[in-house]
A and B are shown apart, each in its own frame.
Chain A
Amino acid sequence: MKDKTRKKLKSGQMKQFIPLYLMMVPGLLYLLINNYIPMTGIVVAFKTFNINDGIYRSPWCGLKNFEYLLTSNDAFTIIRNTFCYNVAFIIVNNLVGIILAIMICDVAHRGLRKLYQSSILLPFLVSIVVTSYIVFAFLSHENGMFNAILQANGQERIMWYNSPRYWPFILVFVNCWKGVGYGTLIYIATISVIDGTYYEAAALDGANKWQQIKSITLPFLIPSAITLLLMSIGRIFYSDFGLFYQIPQNSGTLFPVTNTIDTYVYRALISSGGIGRSSAAGVFQSVVGFILVVLSNWIVRKSSPENAIF
């Protein structure tokens, strides 16, 4: 008798959840199509793909695609570029972000503080294609502002889009311009929850500005800095396709310093017969990326569990 009521209650209870399950259907279906089906498609990296047979019926070829990728010079270049640019981006953007956040929070004038905060986020909203047009206005060989200035000062014009040595700096700068506002806002959020009495007490004890920053602000910022850092390490073999494809305007001479895994995957995919190399590079990225995300999250969970993403 008791059992029966429990059972009845249970099925009655299940009934109330039906709307919830139905609501989840579109979202789950989308993830299934957009994310999970392509995941099974990574087998294409171990196959000789032909369009008629599709991914699943094309013949296996073992590790041939990977051999092909690794014996080319490209593999080293794209992995080095992806890794090194990310390291530079992480260092520059976090450093500049922390410095700007500390300064913005210290600005006494409320209106100015708002102005700085809003303007710093503005480039974040500009599309990378438009950004590449802006960069072009500065660097274009014939019409660029920099070359006009160089010429006005009696110096030689520079073929910016054909001179690889400038590009590591240009890309780090453009990435900072576009992305620093994001990190700065996160650091501002962290600083703004610091109890103001700490600073008052420090000031009473005669601590100067730098001492206050060093002993109060920075220690508060370190946990979020470490979390952001570990998250970026998880994505260190991913690059911003737009940044590396658009800003150098796909210039072939610059490939040695601008080609990353993501631009390589795309260019190989659209070149004839490149689908094997392309998918091999993609699988490398997915697998290494997966290991690094899990690893970095594991470290975050050890050091500050509240910041772990899972």
Chain B
Amino acid sequence: MIKSKGEKVYQVVINIILILVTLSMILPLVLLFMCSITDENTLVANGYSFFPAKIGFAAYAYILQNYATVLRAYGITILVTLIGTSANILITSMLAFPLSIDRLPGRKIFSFFVFFTMLFNGGLVPSYIMWTTQIGVKNTIWAYILPNFLMSAFNVILMRTYFRTSIPATLYEAAQVDGATYFRIYLRLVLPLGKPILITVGLFSGLGYWNDWTNGLYYITKSSMLSIQALLNKMIQDIQALTSLSTADSGALLSLPAVSIRMAIAFVAILPILIIYPFLEKYFASGIMLGAVKG
């Protein structure tokens, strides 16, 4: 194909615009990192900047020294993400698979039961009262795992559609002729063949758990139970949230690099996502496209 002059100009123009857009997407994250490695006194004098006059690692040193708070918060986030995501994949697929079997009696009623939750919800107040007074999740790890994030109707429907369209029904019939029960079919056929959708749902669920701060805001009052996002949320209002539980004595308050440490903890919170993103990017992208094609 011969490229016309107009086509060449067009290529240059769109590439320039898109490079600017790409920079605007990435640079804020770079700024976060630069702020976290700026010398505290330089920060106080010059403010946050891409090109700090002096680099300093006081914030990270402080985190390492007073590791208990951040490490505990990090541990809670990791634990919640692992438990929540595995349970989410399991529960979602165990509900989606039966709903994908056309000949299951009552399938339509159950589908509607799932679907209706996407149309109507009781809102925050009744949920809050229920989780705190009747179920008593307050200040436990379950406060992060159970409310809202364990399973979404949207994912159930997404998965059901995938099972129905991507796994041929003849496979099930053949397995049944061989005497396999539906439970066996689920374990031996559906889970292996549905791997792409399981990964996609797991990824979004994991991202949801990792980034969630709302359950921490609603249900956690004890500072030793804060997840990393909940800790960051608390630190916006009150930097003392960090010092009040530091492992060192109260003298540590004086040496707290208050300005840079917020940024350091924020950066530590997104670091795992930045690391895994390049490897899992295609699953995120295909997940979004899948959800858009048919809910």
Using a CB–CB cutoff of 8 Å, the interface residues on chain A facing chain B are 14, 16-17, 19-24, 26-28, 30-31, 33-42, 44-45, 49, 51, 54-55, 100, 103-104, 106-109, 112, 115-123, 125-130, 132-134, 136-138, 140, 142-145, 147-148, 177, 181-182, 185-186, 189, 208-209, 224, 228, 241-242, 246, 249-250, 262, 265-266, 269, 275, 278-279, 282-283, 285-286, 289-290, 293-294, 309-310
| B177 at interface, CB cutoff 8 A | no
State the CA gap A179–B109 with chains docked (Å): 35
State the CA gap A38–B120 with chains docked (Å): 10
Q: Is the pair B151, A27 in contact by a Cβ cutoff of 8 Å?
A: yes
Out of A38, A54, A115, A132, which one reaches B236, CB within 8 Å?
A: A132
Query: Smallest Cβ distance from A246 to chain B, in angstroms?
Result: 7
Which chain A residue lies CB-closest to B183? A19
Query: Smallest Cβ distance from A37 to chain B, in angstroms?
Result: 6
B interface SS class: helix
Which chain A residue lies CB-closest to B212? A127
Out of A137, A250, A269, which one reaches B128, CB within 8 Å?
A: A269
Contact with A along B205-219 (1 / 0, CB 8 A): 001001111100100
Which chain B residue lies CB-closest to A265? B124
Query: Smallest Cβ distance from A10 to chain B, in angstroms?
Result: 10
Contact with A along B124-166 (1 / 0, CB 8 A): 1111111001110000000000111011010010000000000
Stretch at the interface among B7-15, B55-63, B68-76, B248-256: B7-15
Query: Smallest Cβ distance from A269 to chain B, in angstroms?
Result: 6
Q: Is the pair A126, B29 in contact by a Cβ cutoff of 8 Å?
A: yes
Q: Is the pair B125, A44 in contact by a Cβ cutoff of 8 Å?
A: yes
Q: Is the pair A39, B183 in contact by a Cβ cutoff of 8 Å?
A: no
- How many residues does chain B have at the interface if contact means C-beta atoms less than 8 Å apart? 98
Query: Smallest Cβ distance from A38 to chain B, in angstroms?
Result: 3
State the CA gap A66–B160 with chains docked (Å): 40
Out of A115, A137, A224, which one reaches B32, CB within 8 Å?
A: A137
State the CA gap A45–B124 with chains docked (Å): 12
Q: Is the pair B289, A119 in contact by a Cβ cutoff of 8 Å?
A: no
Which chain B residue lies CB-closest to A51? B133
Query: Smallest Cβ distance from B228 to chain A, in angstroms?
Result: 9
Which chain A residue lies CB-closest to B135? A33
Q: Which residues of A contact B92 (CB under 8 A)?
A: 27
State the CA gap A16–B180 with chains docked (Å): 10
Known: A24-B95, A265-B123. A17 touches B22 (CB 8 A): no
A–B Cβ pairs within 8 angstroms, 24 of them = A17-B104, A33-B135, A34-B151, A38-B121, A42-B126, A100-B18, A106-B11, A116-B22, A118-B278, A121-B284, A125-B211, A127-B270, A129-B232, A133-B32, A137-B35, A140-B48, A185-B289, A186-B292, A209-B6, A249-B237, A266-B124, A269-B125, A282-B123, A283-B123
Which chain B residue lies CB-closest to A190? B292
Q: Which residues of A contact B48 (CB under 8 A)?
A: 137-138, 140, 143-145, 148
Which chain A residue lies CB-closest to B154? A309
Q: Is the pair A129, B123 in contact by a Cβ cutoff of 8 Å?
A: no
Contact with A along B10-33 (1 / 0, CB 8 A): 110011011001101110110110
Known: A41-B127, A107-B18. A122 touches B207 (CB 8 A): no
Which chain A residue lies CB-closest to B95? A27
Q: Which residues of B contact A112 (CB under 8 A)?
A: 15, 18
Q: Is the pair B94, A23 in contact by a Cβ cutoff of 8 Å?
A: yes
Q: Is the pair A41, B125 in contact by a Cβ cutoff of 8 Å?
A: yes
Q: Is the pair B285, A117 in contact by a Cβ cutoff of 8 Å?
A: yes
Q: Is the pair B126, A294 in contact by a Cβ cutoff of 8 Å?
A: no
| B46 at interface, CB cutoff 8 A | yes
Q: Is the pair B263, A137 in contact by a Cβ cutoff of 8 Å?
A: yes
Q: Which residues of A contact B17 (CB under 8 A)?
A: 103
Q: Is the pair A279, B125 in contact by a Cβ cutoff of 8 Å?
A: yes
State the CA gap A310–B108 with chains docked (Å): 12
